């Protein structure tokens, strides 16, 4: 049969689902969750409100939010058996690998048919959103030879996560910045990890397998791992002066080397999340002290705008997120797991939407190999 469909590498621009969860307008620099601008949600909502919105479709009233928040708090605990699994992993294991194992382990503790029982699907979505931060923090402690810090019911989602990392209640400003960062990363339309989640979900695999597959996709350096590489890149700039930064950028651009944290497959203007994070970083550094790497990042952004801004290449969310996380005391190799702490709610919102009118993903391919080859027995090869 003749091929009639064009080959599009990476499926760029090819619709694969209808969705009412996250909308990205790359030309206008818009990001909306369920129709609400990200700027409004980041300014006025708690992370729990945003999770409710993503999973249930509407912003909650006070009467609706209270029991939902209580449900998330109850689900924070993880079984000591899951801790046992972590304690048997080598300390050098990357936190994303440990998170994949942890999520899969959780799936062995809960039974039920999430396909036939929609209430169960929603309950599992809340459970996983609540437990992923506990898994990330637990592995971080265990790999250091320390016992995990149990979650506290009196702390909000982001504040409790920071608390579980080191056992210290964070500064209110730090807790606020962490909460907004989680909101900004909670959903972003049909990115690679969300697509992986929907593909796995379309097979009617359980939600734990769905999240584990999404975590695997997120771990790649072209997706969630990019924020780690931004800091490495900034530290490799030898001369932090404006002239030195410009020379460095010009050299990289001349060699067509990727400058991490700049450019986006969708946005043709500055990522709106980067704007919000930059403003938060300004407040955070004003209170807790500036760092040379932040000043260097600001200088690089200015030089890049002069060099390639006319081409629509601007900072994306990864450019400032790692700088903010480092200031919050989060280790570099936890940056991508923090991304997962936020995005798990978006992944599960897409799973619930996928199940509403499911059809298994089965794309076609363009054959480029040989055809009708003559088989040669072993003795004649």
- Active site amino acids: 264, 318
Cα distance between residue 204 and residue 227, in whole Å: 32
DSSP secondary structure letters along 325-346: HHHTT--GGGHHHHHHHHHHHH
Phi, psi of 23 (to 5 degrees): -120, 130
- Pull the structure tokens for residue 241: 């002066």
**Closest by alpha carbon to 349, among 176, 182, 126, 136?**
126
Decide if 211 contacts 344 (C-beta within 8 A): yes
Q: Which residue has the tokens 């950028």?
A: 249
Neighbours of 84 (CB within 10 A): 10
Give the residue carrying structure tokens 């940056």. Answer: 335
* Alpha-carbon torsion, ordered 252, 256, 257, 259, to 10 deg: 70
Listing from the earlier edge strand, what are the strands of the sheet with 30-33? 22-25, 30-33, 36-37
Report DSSP state, residue 189.
Answer: S
Question: What are the residues whose beta carbons fall under 8 Å from the beta carbon of 239, sequence distance 6 or more?
Answer: 245, 247, 248
d(CA 268, CA 254): 21
CB count in 10 Å sphere of residue 68: 17
Query: How far from the centroid of its chain's Cα atoms is residue 118's Cα?
Result: 25
């Amino acid at each position: 049969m003749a091929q009639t469909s064009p080959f599009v590498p990476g499926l760029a621009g090819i619709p694969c689902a209808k969705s009412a969860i996250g909308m990205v307008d790359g030309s206008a620099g818009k990001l909306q969750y369920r129709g609400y601008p990200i700027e409004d949600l980041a300014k006025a909502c708690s992370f729990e409100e945003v999770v409710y919105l993503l999973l249930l479709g509407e912003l909650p009233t006070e009467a609706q939010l209270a029991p939902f928040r209580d449900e998330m708090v109850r689900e924070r605990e993880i079984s000591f058996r899951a801790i046992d699994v972590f304690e048997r992993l080598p300390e050098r294991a990357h936190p994303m690998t440990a998170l994949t194992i942890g999520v899969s382990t959780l799936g062995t503790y809960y039974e039920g048919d999430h396909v036939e029982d929609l209430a169960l699907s929603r309950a599992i979505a809340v459970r996983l959103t609540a437990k992923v931060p506990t898994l990330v923090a637990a592995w971080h402690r265990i790999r250091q030879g320390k016992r995990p810090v149990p979650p506290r019911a009196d702390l909000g989602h982001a504040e409790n996560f920071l608390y579980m990392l080191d056992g210290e209640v964070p500064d209110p400003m730090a807790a606020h910045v962490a909460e907004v960062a989680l909101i900004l990363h909670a959903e972003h339309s049909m990115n690679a990890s969300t697509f992986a989640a929907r593909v796995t979900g379309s097979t009617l695999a359980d939600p734990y397998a769905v999240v584990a597959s999404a975590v695997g996709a997120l771990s790649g350096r072209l997706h969630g791992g990019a924020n780690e590489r931004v800091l490495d890149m900034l530290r490799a700039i030898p001369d932090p002066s404006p002239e030195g930064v410009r020379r460095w950028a010009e050299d990289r651009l001349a060699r067509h080397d990727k400058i991490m944290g700049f450019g986006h497959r969708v946005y043709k203007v500055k990522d709106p999340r980067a704007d919000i994070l930059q403003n938060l970083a300004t407040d955070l550094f004003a209170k807790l002290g500036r760092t040379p790497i932040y000043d260097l990042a600001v200088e690089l952004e200015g030089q890049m705008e002069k060099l390639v801004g006319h081409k629509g290449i601007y900072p994306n969310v990864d450019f400032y997120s790692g700088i903010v996380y480092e200031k919050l005391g989060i280790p570099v190799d936890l940056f991508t797991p923090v991304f997962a702490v936020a995005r798990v709610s978006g992944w599960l919102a897409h799973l619930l939407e996928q199940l509403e009118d499911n059809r298994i993903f089965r794309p076609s391919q363009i054959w480029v190999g040989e055809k009708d080859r003559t088989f040669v027995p072993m003795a004649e090869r």
